[in-house]
Amino acid sequence: MRTPRIWLVAATVAALGVAGCSGSPRTTFSSGTPLVATAPSIPAASSPPGASARPSGSASATPSPKPKPVATLHAGNPSGHTSIPAAGRPINTSHPDHVIGTGTPAGCTSAALVKAVAAGGVITFKCGPAPVTITMTATAKVRNDHGSRVVIDGGGLVTLSGAGKRRILYMDTCDPAQKWTTSHCDNQSTPRLTVQNITFTKGNSTGQTYEGGGGGAIFDRGGRLAVINAKFTDNRCDSSGPDLGGAAIRALSQYNNDPVYVVNSTFTDGICSNGGGLSSIGVSWTVLNCLFTGNRAIGSGANPAASGTPGGGSGAAIYNDGNTYVLTIAGTVMTSNNANEGGGAIFYVSNDRTGTMSIANSTLTHNKSGKFQNYPGIFFLGAHAPTFSHSTIK
């Protein structure tokens, strides 16, 4: 059943903002540019085939060993000081299963990385003391039957480039080509994919429509995904379509709906129909000490697509849809992101109104919602008003 259309005006935006921060007096809101628009109708749950929305489970991870030193990678919000739970901390990669390169850039090739990712395990790089860019000539794909985890640690020096031509990294527990390993591929605990201390640039999944498309740099369905101290720049996915999104990352069907952790990471200049940074259906996210700037949602017609339009254009930084899932943002800055339709920073819809969103110790400013929002830079429909604390949203 579709939700009745909701008329939003600047006064309503301001009133909702005040209501949303009850009990959090230090959160400030501003309605910004007066905006009169119609919110899009929202369909019933729009999950991919075989996916199931489950209540968010608590993360259960033992503290990681102290990781080896890495070169400085300036990622995330340097002023963010939110504490990081064990599940979002770097993995110790001091004893790798695979080392890409022999000490010079010449040995750090796309073919070597593709082979290592397919083999699984902990992957590090030995490309010399200077930063290096590896231009991918093929997408690195995780094989579901080759170990319980894949860890890619760039050591702060490695950039993976899709050259504007291809997706960089792919994992899908429900893709037969990557081997089914359980009878419940949409809800299995492994593989666990972690990327850390690395940059992804110019990934492009345009035309890759399997599982709904999206994920210009990283596409992940199933298992667990964590992104730690990483940069995503100039990534792309299809320019139109409702629900299609994630120029940087597209995530689906995480194990037990445990959250994807995105920690100390930067997302800049990502462009897609929806979600220039992150995008998902029915997936929970915990986004800590991150920076989103210059991302764009360039589709038109919203979700579902208005008559005569291709659809899309929402959630320039983050686009989330589904039923029961949780979006947690803390210590994060979102600024100067732009959505053609709604949610210049965030588009969040829980179709059955069971999902929740919280924002703490964060700053969201100058995020343009082209046609609709119900908080500055945000369009939200969930179980109740979002929780805001110690944040500036204007």
pLDDT tens digits, 157-171: 999 999 999 999 999
Cis peptide before 55 (omega within 30 of 0): no
Mean of the per-residue pLDDT values for the chain?
A: 87
Output the pLDDT for position 68. 57
For residue 102, give every residue at least 6 positions away whose Cβ sits within 8 Å of its Cβ, in sequence order, or none: 126
Does residue 11 carry a pLDDT above 50? Answer: no
Output the pLDDT for position 70. 64
Bridge-based pairing state of the strands 121-125 and 285-288: unpaired
Does residue 291 carry a pLDDT above 50? Answer: yes
Does residue 1 carry a pLDDT above 90? Answer: no
pLDDT tens digits, 46-96: 433 333 333 333 334 445 555 555 677 999 999 999 999 999 999 999 999
- Give the least confident one: 32-41, 131-140, 222-231, 305-314: 32-41
**What does the DSSP 8-state code read for residue 4?**
P
Does residue 5 carry a pLDDT above 60? Answer: no
Does residue 234 carry a pLDDT above 50? Answer: yes
Q: Where does the pLDDT of residue 297 fall: very low under 50, low under 70, confident under 90, or very high at 90 and above?
A: very high
Output the pLDDT for position 118. 98
Give the distance from CA 106 to its chain's centroid: 32
Question: Positive or negative CA dihedral for 43, 259, 375, 23?
Answer: positive
Mean predicted confidence (pLDDT) in 118-131: 98
Question: What residues pair up with 302 in beta bridges, in sequence order?
Answer: 312
Output the pLDDT for position 28. 73
Output the pLDDT for position 72. 76
User: Is there a contact between 296 and 267 (Cβ–Cβ < 8 Å)?
Assistant: no
pTM: 0.86
- The candidate with the shortest Cα–Cα distance to 268, out of 230, 225, 319, 313, is 230
Mean predicted confidence (pLDDT) in 134-153: 97
